[in-house]
Amino acid sequence: MSLPRWLFSFLPLIAWLPGCSGADFVNSMVPKDGYRVVKDLAYAPGPRHRLDVYIPDNAPASLPTIVFLYGGGWTSGSKGDYLFAGEAFATRGYAVVIADYRLYPEVTYPAFLQDSAAAVAWVKNRMATETGTAPNALYLVGHSAGAYNAAMLTFDLRWLAAQNLRACDTIDAFVGLAGPYDFLPLTGPTLPKIFGVPTPSDTMPINHVDGKAPPALLIHGRTDTTVLPRNSANLGARIRAAGGQVQELTYADIDHIWLVGAIGAPLRSIAPTLNDVDAFLKTQPRGCGS
């Protein structure tokens, strides 16, 4: 990993990204031109059911749309912290939807999946009316807990079905950045409380793979100790074994936070996250068959 020389002065601060101080630092250096932001649109009742939409300047009436689901261990996170991700993808020609969702201890599984599915339904049903721009393709991109949410919407048909949506008619591709997909047994002080259901195996994305889901790109940093790389490796192996479509990328010397931080304009020399996600999405066909 080769860092710009000036960046070393700020490493103690931005090491906490996407926590408040780190995100504020990175976002302060993000370009403010080339896109517009429509903020605080309601996709359901309640204060955590709001989303921001980033739209490229001179956007056509319809364009590919990314729903970006952020991480935070299902206990923290705010859409405002992810200006750097909205700008990054908007300036690559995507509309970008970043939605808040309810967190523990207010809720437990599966409420955050229900919220994520409701945000996707808003994109399909209301985005054109409320922003003037319609999705002509829809991609789910998530980091950490957000990658889990995105994976569950992609592989477990229940959550979009509850919104009267069919996964293969809705999601054109899934990108998971350092996602937890296979993390039983539940350990630590909060995971058993968040996922404490009678059948924990049912909460794991890997157990819902049937080979019929949209194409997936799984990216992980080799030095990630927050979500171990075996999560992506195991999910990729399960998708291939089921006959599904998956690409896997592993970055040497990149950990959990730098993987997503490298999407931001001031940090892109750290890892090719943005370029690799963009290249993958631009090669994906619509839908995944019946």
Mean pLDDT of 131-153: 97
Count CB neighbours of 201 within 10 A: 9
Q: How confident is the model at residue 28 (pLDDT cuts 50, 70, 90)?
A: confident
CA–CA dist 244, 230 (Å, integer): 19
What pLDDT, on the 0 to 100 scale, is given for residue 287? 64
Domain count, the chain: 1
pLDDT tens digit sequence for 268-282: 999 999 999 999 999
Domain of 69, CATH number, reads 3.40.50.1820
288 in any annotated domain: no
143 in any annotated domain: yes
Instruction: Evaluate the CA torsion angle 207, 78, 270, 56 in order and state its sign.
Output: positive
104 in any annotated domain: yes
Give the global pTM.
0.92
119 in any annotated domain: yes
Which position has the higher pLDDT, 283 or 15? 283
Sheet strand arrangement including 35-42: 35-42, 50-56, 95-99, 62-69, 134-143, 173-177, 216-221, 246-251
146 in any annotated domain: yes
287 in any annotated domain: no
Q: How confident is the model at residue 255 (pLDDT cuts 50, 70, 90)?
A: very high
Q: How confident is the model at residue 23 (pLDDT cuts 50, 70, 90)?
A: confident
Instruction: Inform me whether the pLDDT recorded for 1 exceeds 50.
Output: no
pLDDT tens digit sequence for 34-58: 999 999 999 999 999 999 999 999 9
pLDDT tens digit sequence for 85-138: 999 999 999 999 999 999 999 999 999 999 999 999 999 999 999 999 999 999
pLDDT tens digit sequence for 53-79: 999 999 999 999 999 999 999 999 999
Instruction: Inform me whether the pLDDT recorded for 187 exceeds 80.
Output: yes
100 in any annotated domain: yes
Instruction: Inform me whether the pLDDT recorded for 18 exceeds 90.
Output: no
What pLDDT, on the 0 to 100 scale, is given for residue 48? 97
290 in any annotated domain: no
What is the domain extent for residue 234?
A: 5-281
CA–CA dist 71, 223 (Å, integer): 18
CA–CA dist 133, 51 (Å, integer): 15
